Amino acid sequence: MSRTIIVSNRLPTKVIRSEESLTFQPSEGGLATGLGSIYRAEGNVWVGWPGLFVTDEEEEKYVTEELQADSMSPVFLTEAEIRDFYEGFSNSTLWPTFHYFTQFATYEQTHWDAYVAVNQKFCEAVLAQAGPEDTIWVHDYQLLLLPEMLRKARPEATIGFFLHIPFPSYELIRVLPWRAELLRGMLGADLIGFHTFGYMRHFLSSVSQVLGLSAVNGQIEVAHRAVRVDAFPMGIDYQRYADAAASEAAIQHEATYRQALHNVRVILSIDRLDYTKGIAQRLRAFELLLQNYPEWREQVSLIMLVVPSRDQVAQYADLKVEIDELVGRINASYRTIAWTPIHYFYRSLPLEELASLYRLAEVALVTPMRDGMNLVAKEFVASKADHKGVLILSERAGAARELSDALIINPTDINQLAEAMHEALVMPEEDQIQRMTAMQALVQRYNVFSWTKLFLNQLAYTKMKQQTLATE
């Protein structure tokens, strides 16, 4: 029987050390939900880091057994590996480069060496799980070398790779000292997926300019093996967000918030702390709205949820200071006794509270500088049972390719952003409903389950075609 092995840097379960005991907590990510039904199916397994540094062999054995009972196989990483492979090469070299922030990128040989070693460690962990007939699906930028490593060990294996972040223009890729190795690493897969056709085109251009390999009809010939490249825009578990927003708990929370806010109108912003998300620009634009349209003072508040992330990396700590200062300054300038312009939360919230914020908000501001897809935009849409509400969406988020009924803006143009907020606040209801209904139909249809199915079917088809050609 053929099984599916999913591989990502993090497992869908986080192991947390507290006092004397270990707790196993499901992670909230979209990937975990989307692939949840698959990895738990008979014989399948998810390989990844459980987010914990084990202290001894006994603990390692215990964690392994617990996770195995739930179809997961842990790869244990050391603190040095997390520092050099994860915070180093993954988050200080690849993440800024792929999001067009080369000014933040570092190029350290030790980080690269750790990246190679950890990808090799993942390779061994996968090989210990996978049989020759199995399908291996590798995820994201932390594991770009893994497909080729697996291919060398198992030339016949069925390997898929999906990149969750943007693939940038060749001009960015060419800066990387290890560009050829990284591209060859990805080409070990049979099928390589991106969120958009734009990212796919950038990848093909880099492969052609760096490796001299050209694509014909979305297919690259690599050492007599055809590698298929395609766009698969990722969706969400629509029903989960629609249900959460319609739940009694979310309705209760919303009522409490409305009362506490004295019924002012709400603009919402939700992101991980990241310089790619355009949080500071969004704050400046909100300030401009209050400056240019004084009629909105005391009428509108921005609720801004920033989820702590990667605080060991210097730029993230700096960004946190910048956001704290901006919020402080804007609130100090405009607040009144009865009204706070920006309600800023630096923490994560449980799903039902998140859902009540999606319910509460009339406008969602999703304005990243660069974003592979952005699932928050889709979750806001799924939560609007009354079809009202306006999404303001950056043209540089992958989601903008699909959600063309949003107000699409250039996130660096804070004048345009302030105007879009005003436009959203005065938009007639019929117009809102028309746009929202169109977006809901799309997000409901192209959900995370259809995304998974489409990718795996395409992978199976690609492999079948390769085999047919080989035997002809």
Our measurement of the distance from residue 409's CA atom to the centroid of its chain's CA atoms, rounded to an integer in Å, reads 20
Strand partners, 135: 4, 158
- Which residues, 278 to 317, sit near ligand GDG by CB under 6 A? 305, 307
Strand partners, 393: 366, 408
Q: Are 435 and 443 in contact (CB under 8 A)?
A: no
Min dist. Cβ of residue 430 to ligand GDG (A): 29
Of the residues 99, 139, 164, 202, only one is catalytic, namely 164
Is 270 a binding residue for ligand GDG by CB under 6 A? The answer is: yes
- The pattern of x and - marking residues 12 through 51 that bind ligand GDG according to CB under 6 A reads ----------------x-x---------------------
Min dist. Cβ of residue 171 to ligand GDG (A): 21
Min dist. Cβ of residue 468 to ligand GDG (A): 32
Nearest residue to 366 (alpha-carbon basis) of 444, 305, 321: 305
Q: Identify the three-state secondary structure at position 451.
A: helix
Is 349 a binding residue for ligand GDG by CB under 6 A? The answer is: yes
Q: How many residues bind ligand GDG (CB under 6 A)?
A: 21
Q: Which of 327, 375, 381, 382 binds ligand GDG (CB under 6 A)?
A: 375
Nearest residue to 6 (alpha-carbon basis) of 466, 452, 458: 452
Q: Are 274 and 372 in contact (CB under 8 A)?
A: no
Rounded Cα distance between 439 and 391, Å, is 10
Radius of gyration of the chain (CA): 23
The pair of three-digit structure tokens given for residue 273, joined into one six-digit string = 């702390």
Is 164 a binding residue for ligand GDG by CB under 6 A? The answer is: yes
Active site residue 164: yes
Q: Which of 63, 82, 138, 373 binds ligand GDG (CB under 6 A)?
A: 373
Nearest residue to 402 (alpha-carbon basis) of 377, 380, 382: 377
Nearer to ligand GDG, 30 or 278 (CB): 30
What residue type is assigned to position 160 of the chain?
A: G
From 317-325, 342-350, 411-419, 424-432, span contacting ligand GDG (CB under 6 A) = 342-350
Active site residue 111: no
Is 234 a binding residue for ligand GDG by CB under 6 A? The answer is: yes
Rounded Cα distance between 220 and 252, Å, is 54
Q: Which of 81, 287, 379, 402 binds ligand GDG (CB under 6 A)?
A: 379
Residues at the interface with ligand GDG (CB under 6 A): 28, 30, 164-165, 234, 270, 272, 305, 307, 348-351, 354, 371-376, 379
Active site residues: 164, 371
